[in-house]
Structure 1
Amino acid sequence: MWAKLAFRLFLRELRRGELTVICAAIALAVMTVLTLSSVTDRIGQAILQKSNAFIAADRALASNHALPDEYRQQAQKMGLKTAQLTFFDTMLFANDRMQLAAIKAASSAYPLKGELLIKSDFDAQEQVAEGGPKEGNVWLNETVMYSLDLQVGDEVELGAATFTVSHILSEEPDAPFNIFSGSRRVLLNEADIAKTEVIQPGSRVFYRQLYAGDGDDVEAFYQWLKPQLAENQRWYGVKDRQSPIANSLERSERFLLLAGLLGIILAAVAIAVSAKRYCERQYDPVAMMKTLGGARAQIRAIYLLHLSLVCGFSLLIGLAVGYSLQHVAADYMAKSMDISLPPASLRPWLSAVFIGVVCAVMFSIKPLLDLFDIPPLRVLRRNLGDRLVVSKIHLALSALTVFGLMWLFSGKIKITLILFASSALVVVVLFVASKVIFGTGRKLGLSPGNSWSLALASIQKRANANAVQLISFALAIKLLLFLIVLKNDMINDWQSQLPADAPNAFLVNISEQEKQPVADYLAANNIEVSRFYPTIRGRVNAVNGEKVAREVSLEDNEKKDEEARSGVGRELNLTWVRDMPSHNTLTKGQWFTEQSQGEVSIEQSMAERLEIQLGDTITFLIGSQSFDAEVTSFREVNWSTLKPNFFMILSPDLLAEFPATYIAAARIDDGENKAFTQLLRQYPTITAIDVDNFVEQIRSTIEQVSLAIGFVLAIVVVCGALVLISQVQASLGERMQEVVILRTLGARGKLIRGATLYEFLLLGLIAGVVAALVSDVALFIVQRQLFELPGKFHPDIWFIGPVAGALFVALLGYTMIARTLNKNTSGLLRKLM
């Protein structure tokens, strides 16, 4: 019987529109989580897949020693595509010239991701290669071609074998972005390695296996591989590389994660408000049931089943709308980004259902319990039950529920704590502020018949309800301000790293005698060039006289000295300059002066890694010569900029006597390629590294990430607006009663409209002030802790927040109340009955 009553109640209220608010709130939660999770999941997968071209695969395994072929065989059994790469340096001979070159021997499947671009002649158009060079052929990049004075079709000696230069190697998807190495590139067929007889015991060779396939298959292979990995083997993906694209991907993922978390907070607020309002509207029916003899247990069963039906119906609506919305969003993003988005995983669906059910139950349970406590006398005294005490336990459980859902959704405790704490701060500040403001308002003594007086009286009359509204408005405004400002700061930071005039080529291995002629030639041809940095290879040998650990080979049975101080493990590129590079920031200490002698400036992260303090003495080893330098400053280096950067910069007196070469960054615009090529022909010992295509790839990825972030932000803005709508809807019934009373007392429509507008204007203004201040504090923390951005305050949002909040809430609130104000008194009375 009770089940039938619950079902009939559900159908009746569904037809009458009584379930609109609560169903919309639960559906909003489900839709928000599903849409945001699906869109961010699909966009993240697509961007990552496209970015995987930077390593020519989905994942790679690198080692200084030969990798077992068993790995490739197992990967192929598990449905993955594989490729093998072998790297070594050797001399090339042709036309009575010789040149040291970096050889990459690749299997026929290379590359698994991205494209190899080649040219049939210096002036020919680039074309996409179908596989690597055939046996007996090699591809050389232009630098090697110039150095050996070669043309396509000529022969070159590589070790014990002779090969035909069949194409010019123009671009490799995984070419190392390192201005100190990897410039003289040669691509060889893997089957030809043995012919060269170059690799002998003790040769310095590097190996890499590439893997590509479905994400689950790659992860399954890694779980098989993980127990067998040696310490000198490294498994990595594109996000593991220290590069601009890796940093951009990490930041975008964090932002998209933030958007999802804020969507959960907004949905939780909407459900809490609408659940309370819906249960309040059921007070009279419950009182009537009890008057007619309905038992508490029976009423409880009816409404619990009723809530289950409401929850189930809302879940279906939310999932349907969310799926449609994310599908539309994905299609739009795919066209805008010119990529195909992979289907979303099952996780967004499971998250949406779980979060929707948890929110519906946790934020409805207290209003439901209050509903069961409504006394039968309410049928005679309509005010009974209107002021049920708010349970502190329920508030605590609700807060813990939101925190738990945020943590579950993100898996990141730090980001969850920051957002939750900042939102809690908004609640506390506004709760106290509302008590003060609404309390002091009674003492203002404004004249009757004034819209402002009526607005303040309305605010005072609904002090508790308005406090809740104020908190809801402020949370929505705070979260929206937070995302909008963070998005702009991220994009501005990316764009500042890659301005339109960013360097797109590097000149390396410039001798002292060539430096001035090269500078003059570039200036004469209007080619922009940075300062020339002297460079020399050196090793950190000791800190304060304590030897540092060196790099070891486990396969050669070398043992690491566990007692030695942590070191770099490799040679560093050292430079010496009097003036600090413009793209470096001094974080501690003092930069070199004219009187500086024997000083060194260290990059901040390197100093932390080596546990170095200001005043420490570092011993450097260059060849067989060693010298000491005192640490006098730490620097913050932006590694994402396409400019020469150094871990260690020494005062000029230390390295002035050492032979060095110079490097410089140049900007080669259209029309300057011919002059630049002539420079390389004139100075064949200079190495040129073309990074123009790399820059374009980074810009393209950043634009795609920015577009994705903008779309997700739009979804969150819509969610915020829906939260405000649900909050205003919750007070519609009470506002209709006020309009009837005021009209009965002779109040004019202009007075009522003005009072309504001013009331929402004040609520939005107060909410905007608090939201702006708390948002800025939270932004400062998040930027420094999560996004590695320079933390800064944003005074502009202290003005924008209150103004936008006041206008947005006033416009939205007034628009929703306008229909009520336009109805005549008899119509309002009939609707209230």
Structure 2
Amino acid sequence: MGAAKKLSSVRRDWRERDVRVVLAALIVAVATVATIALFASQLQSTLISSASSFLAADRKLEAENGIPVPPEWREEAERRGLKTAEMIEFSTMVFGNDNFQLVAAKAVNDDYPLKGEVEYQLGEDAPRQVSARGPDRGNVWINPRLLRLLDVEIGGSLEIGNKALTVSGLLIREPDGGFSMAALAPRVMMHSDDVAATNVVQQGSRVEYSYLYAGEESDLNAFYRWLEPRLEPSHEWESIRDGEALSQSLLKAERFLLLGGSLAVLLAAVAVAVASRQYAMNQRDTVALLKTLGLSSHGIGQLYIGRLALWGLVGIVGGLLIALPIVWMLNSLVADLLERPVDFRLDILALTPALMTAVVSLFAFAYPPIRRLRNVPAMRVLRSQPGESGREAWLDIGIAVVAVFGLVWLYAREVSLVLALLGGLAALLGILMVLGWLMVIGLRRVSGGGNAWRLALVALYRHRRASLSQIAVFSMTLMLACTLVLVRSSLLDDWQAQLPEDTPNHFLINIAPDAVDDVEDFLQTRSLPLDTLYPMVRGRLTELNDQPVKETVSKDERVGALNRELNLTWMDQLPADNRVVDGEWFEEGQRSGVSVEAELAEKLGLKLGDKLGFTIGSDKVSAEITSIRTVQWDSMKPNFYMAFPPGGALDAMPATWITSFHLPAEQKSELNEFSRKFPTISVLEVDHIIERIRSIVQQVTQAIEAILVLILAAALVVMAAVVSATLQDRQREGALLRTLGGRQSLLVRSTMVEFALLGFFAGVLGVAAAEAAVWALQYRMFEGEFRWHWNVVLSIPLISAVLLSVFGRLQLRPVLEVSPMLLLRRLE
């Protein structure tokens, strides 16, 4: 064929309804996936940027061996365009007004913090202020408790080693001070240039050097690749994802965005599959005519490959033209909600799933039947005998499954997510096979007549293959949409239940055993009920099965729990937000054993029966693992890696107690009175962490609503495409019925009943499959508790029935508005 003929053929093709349906499906598919992918990528970077203020940077490098890193490391980071800052942390005694006190000192340079702000006061009764840097040289900011412990005043002098510093402010909050409860001593912050003059940091001193980095993600990753071969076991590279409190919320948020995008990919694939396959089936006569005119099979293949490529290009361009303005509007909405600017940046990598969805779906679903048609003799095609065998149909299904699996894997890269969704679809298809068999048996005995219900049932039997195909696509579409709705509801319910208004927002640490009752009385008289009180012992995990743990565990430098002291406790009751996943919780009267947190157990390769050895001061204790449990770190309650039974290995060890409670903002002044009465008890404020987690929940909620709208829109497009796939056959039957004297009202009622039945069955199956998928996702990915969603289970089948009956009614418009004879001639 010449170029002019090919162009003319393409133009004629584009005027056909099937081609327009394919293009519409492609455009919607690309627009949906691209919008969700771009918005999710933008929102994810916004969440990470917002949460990074809690690390005071984007990345943090800790040197726990007491030796500063080589200066060329900082030079290399700055050469790569990264901002840097330095900190030195150590414990020391301070002297003030003839009093001594052990403190946790943090020395920072002028660049600290790179993200977030330091909150301080110029006096106990002065308003809180924020600063983008720490104290100046010669000054020190101290924890408010030190005013009473040392009997010093603002403007007074505080000696650290050989250096006298001026107390210029009260340190209220550090951006990176909220993740660890290990620093039980009061904090002081000074300038790093004053450290040398104190002479407290000597060779062999217990000191930790920390280096902060901020910049573009690509630059940070490139720097880490350069840095990684130079790191030693005592070096630890951290990101915001390593923080126990916020990391869980970030992880759930990102997983939900992945879920939304994966559902969009699946729906887009279904939309393109339905539309393109219908087009391919309708090309049999065209292929026969082309072969009759002498076009070879190879030429036919090239012709259709060119057409599909051209349509793919049109779909991609059209989808992007729709997606980009929508993403810009969604980002503007997020910026308004957060009351902060959100930079809109086009992430090319985020567009990959959208482009691959269009190309793979088009060629995986449309080309296989066309490829087979080119090998069929022209006469067999003209006789409507394309020669498809069951084996070829199964080959198509296999190609489709591989294509769908590949697309979802490309987008999500989460095995549990892919298996949950595809497992739900597989179960759905299995049920449909049984349903099809029952439909054939049950509807075979229905005879026709003038009743709308009888006509509808006869039509279902007559179009049983098409009906089953439509039920399959409708139920898959409803399953995917319902999965997102149900996970959204479950996720938000879990988050809201996890962080109610009375969530504990303050920790009390270092409570002496003889002060426990006094602390409880103090808070109860002020209507501030305590959460559970836990004893706490500081110890290091040093042995595993009587061998040094750092020799037994590979890559121990990646496990921070091996490089620091852990908070150990004993308890008789399993906390409400913990769940035993292996083994059994301590029985009443049990005195031996230890329960280990699940993620740490996985990192260290621990299993039931392993013997752990701990060093506590100069003492050593050991215990056998009797259970492994999950811990909800973002519950804002005391949580522990290791838990022993009462009267067990920790019973003889000196312990302090820890608890948490909720303090309303209007009662903040109670903290001053509490600190005066209990000067040795540390108060850790985590209300700012709770505010940030709630901010993340709010942002994700908005994203969920936007994604939900897009998914439902895509679902409607899929359903419309499926209904229109049998448009010609149904219009022909409607015209024949009118020609034979059938009334319009009977035709309308029977068609609407037929589609209502299809919608109802599809709704029941879709909701059942969605509940199964949600169970798997909620249990495995979001670590939540599954609950039946009866409001959705009961309403979706009815909504689906009404919606499809409306679609069926719309199909009758040509039948009712055009002369039956004219319509029959047009269809022929």
Residue 677 of structure 1: aligned partner: 672
Could you say if the C-alpha distance between residues 103 and 821 of structure 1 is closer, same or farther in structure 2, counting changes exceeding 3 Å? farther
Which stretch of structure 1 is more off in the superposition, 800-809 or 57-66? 800-809
Distance 2:339 2:10 in 1: 46
Query: What CA RMSD, in Å, does the superposition of the two structures yield over aligned residues?
Result: 3.2
User: What pairs up with 1:327-406 in 2 under 5 angstroms?
Assistant: 327-339=328-340, 340-369=342-371, 371-372=373-374, 383=384, 385=386, 391-406=393-408
Please say if residues 643 and 665 of structure 1, whose CA atoms lie closer than 8 Å, have aligned partners that are also in contact. yes
Alignment TM-score, normalising by the size of structure 1: 0.90
**Counterpart selection for 1:810 from 801, 805, 823:** 805
Report deviation, 1:415: 2.9
Distance 1:97 1:130 in 2: 32
Residue 43 of structure 1: aligned partner: 43
Residue 431 of structure 1: aligned partner: 433
C-alpha deviations, 1:118-149, integer Å up to 9, x for none?
22222222222132211101111323334323
C-alpha deviations, 1:33-57, integer Å up to 9, x for none?
2212111111111111111111111
Q: Secondary structure at the match of 1:492?
A: helix
- 1:643 alignment partner AA: K
1:484 and 2:485 aligned = yes
User: What pairs up with 1:508-519 in 2 under 5 angstroms?
Assistant: 508-519=509-520
Residue 232 of structure 1: aligned partner: 234
**Counterpart selection for 1:637 from 620, 631, 636:** 631
User: What pairs up with 1:117-132 in 2 under 5 angstroms?
Assistant: 117-132=119-134
1:574 and 2:568 aligned = yes
Residue 455 of structure 1: aligned partner: 456
Could you say if the C-alpha distance between residues 353 and 679 of structure 1 is closer, same or farther in structure 2, counting changes exceeding 3 Å? closer
Could you say if the C-alpha distance between residues 614 and 332 of structure 1 is closer, same or farther in structure 2, counting changes exceeding 3 Å? closer
Could you say if the C-alpha distance between residues 630 and 75 of structure 1 is closer, same or farther in structure 2, counting changes exceeding 3 Å? closer
C-alpha deviations, 1:460-501, integer Å up to 9, x for none?
121222222111111111111111111222222222221110
- 1:149 alignment partner AA: D
Distance 1:789 1:820 in 2: 52
Could you say if the C-alpha distance between residues 246 and 441 of structure 1 is closer, same or farther in structure 2, counting changes exceeding 3 Å? same
Report deviation, 1:619: 6.0
Residue 549 of structure 1: aligned partner: 548
- 1:97 alignment partner AA: N
User: What pairs up with 1:122-271 in 2 under 5 angstroms?
Assistant: 122-181=124-183, 184-243=186-245, 245-271=246-272
Please say if residues 570 and 646 of structure 2, whose CA atoms lie closer than 8 Å, have aligned partners that are also in contact. yes
- 1:125 alignment partner AA: P
Residue 743 of structure 1: aligned partner: 738
Q: Secondary structure at the match of 2:516?
A: helix
Distance 1:585 1:392 in 2: 44
**Counterpart selection for 2:114 from 93, 107, 112:** 112
Distance 1:671 1:486 in 2: 36
Q: Secondary structure at the match of 1:431?
A: helix
- 2:154 alignment partner AA: V
Could you say if the C-alpha distance between residues 336 and 567 of structure 1 is closer, same or farther in structure 2, counting changes exceeding 3 Å? closer
Give the percent of matched residue pairs that are identical in Structure 1 and Structure 2. 33
Distance 2:61 2:606 in 1: 32
- 2:548 alignment partner AA: A
Could you say if the C-alpha distance between residues 481 and 742 of structure 1 is closer, same or farther in structure 2, counting changes exceeding 3 Å? same
Distance 2:132 2:571 in 1: 46
1:688 and 2:683 aligned = yes
Distance 1:370 1:580 in 2: 62
Report deviation, 1:784: 2.9
Report deviation, 1:550: 5.4
Unaligned runs of 5+ in 1: 553-558
Could you say if the C-alpha distance between residues 680 and 822 of structure 1 is closer, same or farther in structure 2, counting changes exceeding 3 Å? farther
Distance 1:107 1:731 in 2: 72
Distance 2:727 2:514 in 1: 83
Residue 711 of structure 2: aligned partner: 716
- 1:638 alignment partner AA: Q
Distance 1:69 1:514 in 2: 48
Residue 28 of structure 2: aligned partner: 28
- 2:36 alignment partner AA: L
Could you say if the C-alpha distance between residues 210 and 788 of structure 1 is closer, same or farther in structure 2, counting changes exceeding 3 Å? same
Distance 1:628 1:76 in 2: 47
Distance 1:192 1:820 in 2: 89
Which stretch of structure 1 is more off in the superposition, 698-707 or 407-416? 407-416
Report deviation, 1:803: 3.3
Residue 277 of structure 1: aligned partner: 278
Could you say if the C-alpha distance between residues 599 and 295 of structure 1 is closer, same or farther in structure 2, counting changes exceeding 3 Å? closer
- 1:277 alignment partner AA: Q
**Counterpart selection for 1:664 from 652, 659, 664:** 659
Distance 1:130 1:616 in 2: 48
Unaligned runs of 5+ in 2: none
Please say if residues 438 and 459 of structure 1, whose CA atoms lie closer than 8 Å, have aligned partners that are also in contact. no
Q: Secondary structure at the match of 2:110?
A: coil
Which stretch of structure 1 is more off in the superposition, 688-697 or 385-394? 385-394
Please say if residues 157 and 165 of structure 2, whose CA atoms lie closer than 8 Å, have aligned partners that are also in contact. yes
- 1:523 alignment partner AA: Q
Which stretch of structure 1 is more off in the superposition, 760-769 or 383-392? 383-392
Alignment TM-score, normalising by the size of structure 2: 0.91
1:468 and 2:469 aligned = yes
Could you say if the C-alpha distance between residues 583 and 247 of structure 1 is closer, same or farther in structure 2, counting changes exceeding 3 Å? closer
Report deviation, 1:656: 5.5
C-alpha deviations, 1:61-114, integer Å up to 9, x for none?
112132121111001011111111111111121122222111111121111111
- 1:809 alignment partner AA: L
- 1:235 alignment partner AA: W
Report deviation, 1:199: 0.5
User: What pairs up with 1:496-645 in 2 under 5 angstroms?
Assistant: 496-539=497-540, 546-549=545-548, 570-586=564-580, 588-593=583-588, 595-597=589-591, 600-605=594-599, 622-625=616-619, 635-645=629-639
Report deviation, 1:795: 5.7
Could you say if the C-alpha distance between residues 618 and 253 of structure 1 is closer, same or farther in structure 2, counting changes exceeding 3 Å? closer
Please say if residues 777 and 793 of structure 1, whose CA atoms lie closer than 8 Å, have aligned partners that are also in contact. no
Residue 12 of structure 2: aligned partner: 12
Residue 555 of structure 1: aligned partner: none
Could you say if the C-alpha distance between residues 14 and 604 of structure 1 is closer, same or farther in structure 2, counting changes exceeding 3 Å? closer
Could you say if the C-alpha distance between residues 541 and 208 of structure 1 is closer, same or farther in structure 2, counting changes exceeding 3 Å? closer
Could you say if the C-alpha distance between residues 331 and 609 of structure 1 is closer, same or farther in structure 2, counting changes exceeding 3 Å? closer
Matched length? 819
Residue 754 of structure 2: aligned partner: 759
Residue 556 of structure 1: aligned partner: none
- 1:670 alignment partner AA: A
Report deviation, 1:441: 0.8
Report deviation, 1:539: 4.8
Report deviation, 1:247: 1.0
Distance 2:730 2:768 in 1: 31
Report deviation, 1:609: 6.3
Residue 75 of structure 2: aligned partner: 73
Could you say if the C-alpha distance between residues 204 and 176 of structure 1 is closer, same or farther in structure 2, counting changes exceeding 3 Å? farther
Which stretch of structure 1 is more off in the superposition, 649-658 or 318-327? 649-658
Q: Secondary structure at the match of 1:19?
A: helix
- 1:368 alignment partner AA: I
Report deviation, 1:295: 5.9
Distance 2:300 2:252 in 1: 51
Please say if residues 143 and 183 of structure 1, whose CA atoms lie closer than 8 Å, have aligned partners that are also in contact. no
Residue 312 of structure 2: aligned partner: 311
Report deviation, 1:26: 1.8
Could you say if the C-alpha distance between residues 579 and 455 of structure 1 is closer, same or farther in structure 2, counting changes exceeding 3 Å? same
Which stretch of structure 1 is more off in the superposition, 143-152 or 729-738? 143-152
C-alpha deviations, 1:154-175, integer Å up to 9, x for none?
2111111011111222221111
Please say if residues 780 and 793 of structure 1, whose CA atoms lie closer than 8 Å, have aligned partners that are also in contact. no
